[in-house]
Amino acid sequence: MAKRFRKPPKRSILIFLLILGLLLSFFLSSQPKVTQAPVVKPVIAGLKEGATEIVSKRTENAKVFDNQNGTQTHIVHGGPIHYKDGDNNWQEINTNIQPSSANDAGFEMTKSMYKAWFKKTFDTQGIVKIEKEGNSISVSPGDLNWTNDNGLKQLISTPQPVKGEAKETEITYKNAYGEGLDFIYQTYGIKLEKRLIIPDFKVLPKPNEEILNGKNPSIELNLSFETDAAVQIYIDGKLWNQKTVKTQ
């Protein structure tokens, strides 16, 4: 027996499309925001046209090219341009931040001398985890304070539950410490840089008289670290004694 299908009224179709649109909007808005950088083939000065790289001759900071005429061109860089993958092969360093497939990370950078994973939300323990040669260190954001040499503190802000947005080698947590106070991580071949952006001191609460009357009123950003036993932390080239507090 043939089934009969009644054409649904237009109102039902509109309601269905509206619900579908809302579901898609919710799903897309919940994903980490990543802006992919265009792939641009680097131009190497002095390289002969038609030369091809001899991949097997890569080192950490050098490439070798076959000029197709019986000669070779060696390009040596002042810093690392390759990293070793899991199969011990040299690969091109790419420090662009990508969406992560790790369980608790929103973003990652895994094609360099070290690997880094970033949480989606700023007010999270272990917002960034850095790993190199099997050892890791996790960093958690803490309070932002006014302070002085007398040890007095005045709270400016705690870490806010804002989501990160990645673009090329940077991940930005906008308003991480309140309106206008962004926190940025930027990946490089051999280091990970962090920056707290204070566009104008007017966006900060004014320090109270106790802070101002003390010596050297300053801003203090607290960070906590969790490391593997083998990891050692150096500050300005000196091994950290895990007691000294450094402010800048």
- Convert the pLDDT of each residue in 95-133 to its tens digit: 999 999 887 899 999 999 999 999 999 998 999 999 998
Q: With 70 as the cut, is the pLDDT of residue 73 above it? A: yes
Q: How far apart are CA 233 and CA 188, in angstroms?
A: 19
SS3 of 81, please? Answer: coil
DSSP E strand boundaries for 67-217: 72-76, 82-84, 90-92, 98-99, 107-109, 115-118, 128-132, 135-147, 153-157, 164-167, 170-173, 182-187, 192-197
* Pick from 9-13, 32-36, 70-74, 125-129: least confident: 9-13
Q: How far apart are CA 197 and CA 131, in angstroms?
A: 26
pLDDT band for position 145 (cuts 50, 70, 90): very high
pLDDT band for position 40 (cuts 50, 70, 90): very low
Angle at 80 between CA 75 and CA 81, to 5 degrees: 60
Q: How far apart are CA 134 and CA 148, in angstroms?
A: 39
pLDDT band for position 179 (cuts 50, 70, 90): very high
**Domain residue ranges in the chain:** 47-92, 94-248
Q: Please, what is the end-to-end C-alpha distance for the chain in angstroms?
A: 82
Q: With 60 as the cut, is the pLDDT of residue 176 above it? A: yes
pLDDT > 90 in the chain, percent: 62
Structure tokens of 62? 């050098």
Q: What is the pLDDT of residue 239?
A: 87
Q: In this structure, are residues 188 and 113 in contact, taking their beta carbons and an 8 Å threshold?
A: no
Phi and psi torsions of 201, nearest 5°: -65, -10
Q: What is the pLDDT of residue 8?
A: 41
Q: How far apart are CA 180 and CA 152, in angstroms?
A: 25
CA 65 to chain centre: 33
Q: Between residues 146 and 1, which one has the greater pLDDT?
A: 146
Q: With 50 as the cut, is the pLDDT of residue 15 above it? A: no
* Pick from 74-78, 165-169, 204-208, 244-248: least confident: 244-248
**Which amino acid, 73?**
T
pLDDT band for position 41 (cuts 50, 70, 90): low
How many residues can be counted in the chain?
248
Specify the residue for token string 């131009």.
43
Q: With 90 as the cut, is the pLDDT of residue 16 above it? A: no
Give the pTM: 0.76
Q: What value does the mean pLDDT of the chain take?
A: 83
Phi and psi torsions of 153, nearest 5°: -135, 145
